[in-house]
Structure 1
Amino acid sequence: MVDAGTDTDLSALIWTPQRSAALDRLERFAPRAGRAYAARRNFDFGPQDRSNVSALSPWIRHRLILEEEVLSSVLQRHSFSAAEKFVQEVFWRGYFKGWLEHRAQVWARYRSDLSDCLEGLDRDPALRDRYEAAVEGRSGIDCFDAWAKELVATGYLHNHTRMWFASIWIFTLHLPWQLGADLFLRHLLDGDPASNTLGWRWVGGLHTRGKTYLARASNIARYTDGRFDPAGQLATAAPALSEPALDAPRSPQFDATPKDIGRFGLLVTEEDGQPETLDLPGRPSALLGLAATAERSPLAVSDVARSFAEAAVGDALSRAAEAFGAEPAHTGDLQPGAEAWGPRLVDWARNRDLSVIVTAAPPVGPIRDSLTTAGPVLADAGITLLTVARRYDRAVWPHAGKGFFQLKAKIPKLLNGLGLSA
Structure 2
Amino acid sequence: MPRPGVQGLGLPRHVVQTETPTRAAGLARLASFVPHGAAYARERNRVVPPHDRVSRLSPYLRHRLILEREAVAAVLDAHPRDVVDKFISEVLWRTYWKGWLEHRPHVWDAYLDQLRHDRDGLAGRTSVRYAEAITGRSGIACFDAWARELIETGYLHNHARMWFASIWIFTLRLPWTLGAAFFLRHLLDGDPASNTLSWRWVAGLHTRGKHYLAQAENIARYTDGRFDPKGELDEQALPLTEPPLDLKPRALSASVDLPTDLQSGLLLTPEDLAPEVSHLSKLGFRGVAGGWDETVGEALDLAPPVGDFSRVAIGDALSRAEAHFAVPTHALDEGDWLAAAEAWACGLAVRQVVTLETPVGRWRERIDQLDARLAKHGIALVRSRRTWDSSLWPGATRGFFPFREHARRQGHLDGLTRIDDA
In 2 relative to 1, CA 279–103 (structure 1 residues): closer, same or farther, beyond 3 Å? same
| Corresponding residue for residue 98 of structure 1 | 99
1:112 Cα deviation after fit:
1.1
- CA separation of 1:417 and 1:104: change in aligned 2, threshold 3 A: farther
- The residue that corresponds to 1:27 in the other structure is 31
> Deviation digits for residues 63-116 of structure 1, max 9, x if unmatched?
000000000000011111111111111111110000000100010111111111
User: Where does residue 9 of structure 1 map in the other structure?
Assistant: none
> 1:14-413 counterparts in 2 under 5 A?
14-34=18-38, 36-46=39-49, 49-121=50-122, 124-247=123-246, 248-280=248-280, 282-292=283-293, 295=296, 298=299, 300-331=301-332, 334-335=334-335, 340-413=336-409
Which ranges of structure 2 fall in alignment gaps of 5 or more residues? 6-15
Unmatched tracts of structure 1, length 5 or more: 5-11
**1:373 Cα offset (Å):** 2.3
Q: CA deviation at 1:251?
A: 2.6
What is the identity, as a one-letter code, of the residue corresponding to 1:72? A
1-structure distance, mates of 2:316, 2:139:
41
The structural deviation recorded for 1:13 is 9.4
Q: CA RMSD in A?
A: 2.1
**Compared with structure 1, are the counterparts of its residues 296 and 201 closer, same or farther at alpha carbon in structure 2 (3 Å cutoff)?**
farther
What is the TM-score of this pair, normalised by structure 2?
A: 0.91
For residues 133 and 320 of structure 1, what CA distance do their matches in structure 2 show? 45
Structure 1 counterpart of 2:162, one-letter code: M
What is the CA distance between 1:374 and its match in structure 2?
2.5
How far residue 303 of structure 1 moved from its aligned partner, in angstroms, is 1.1
CA distance in 2, matches of 1:421, 1:39: 26
For residues 193-232 of structure 1, what are the alpha-carbon distances to aligned partners after superposition, in whole Å with 9 as ceiling and x for unaligned?
Answer: 1000000000000111110000001100111111111111
Shift of 1:277: 2.1
Shift of 1:145: 0.4
- SS of the counterpart of 1:343? helix
Contact 1:345/1:378, CA 8 A, preserved across alignment: no
Corresponding residue SS for 2:84: helix
Aligned match for 1:419, one of 391, 412, 416 = 416
Partners of 2:342 and 2:295 lie apart in 1 by: 21
- How far the C-alpha of 1:297 sits from its partner, in A, is 6.0
Partner of residue 11, structure 2: none
SS of the residue corresponding to residue 54 of structure 2 reads: coil
Please, what TM-score do these two structures have when normalized by structure 1? 0.91
Aligned residues: 404
Q: Percent identity?
A: 46
Q: Per-residue deviation at 1:126?
A: 2.3
Q: Check 1:128–1:142 CA distance in 2 against 1; reply closer, same or farther (3 A cut).
A: same
For 1:19, the aligned partner's letter is: R
Secondary structure of the residue aligned to 2:388 is helix
Check 1:259–1:356 CA distance in 2 against 1; reply closer, same or farther (3 A cut).
Answer: closer
CA–CA separation in structure 1 for the residues paired with 2:322 and 2:408: 36
Residue 238 to residue 297, structure 1, CA distance change in 2 (3 Å):
farther
The residue identity in structure 2 corresponding to 1:20 is A
Structure 1, 372-381 or 93-102: larger mean CA deviation: 372-381
1:7 is matched with: none
CA contact (8 A) 2:216 2:229 kept: yes
Q: Are 1:3 and 1:13, in contact at CA under 8 Å, matched by a contact in 2? A: no
For the residue of structure 1 that corresponds to 2:120, the secondary structure is: helix
**Is the partner of 2:374 in helix, strand or coil?**
helix
Q: Deviations over 1:138-175 (max 9, x none)?
A: 00000000100100000000000000000000000000
User: C-alpha separation between the residues in 1 aligned to 2:48 and 2:402?
Assistant: 32
Which whole-Å CA distance do the structure 2 matches of 1:13 and 1:51 have between them? 17
Q: 2:10: which partner in 1?
A: none
In the alignment, the residues of structure 1 paired with residue 413 and residue 162 of structure 2 have an alpha-carbon distance, to the nearest angstrom, of 32
Q: In structure 2, what residue type is equivalent to 1:264?
A: S
- How many angstroms does 1:410 deviate by? 3.0
2:168 touches 2:176 (CA, 8 Å); kept in 1? yes
Displacement of 1:234 in angstroms is 0.5
Matching residue's letter, 2:225: G
Relative distance call for 1:400 and 1:211 in structure 2 (3 A) is same
C-alpha distance in 2 between matches for 1:85 and 1:299: 32
How far has the Cα of 1:316 moved from its partner?
0.7
How far, CA to CA, are the matches of 1:274 and 1:220 in structure 2?
38
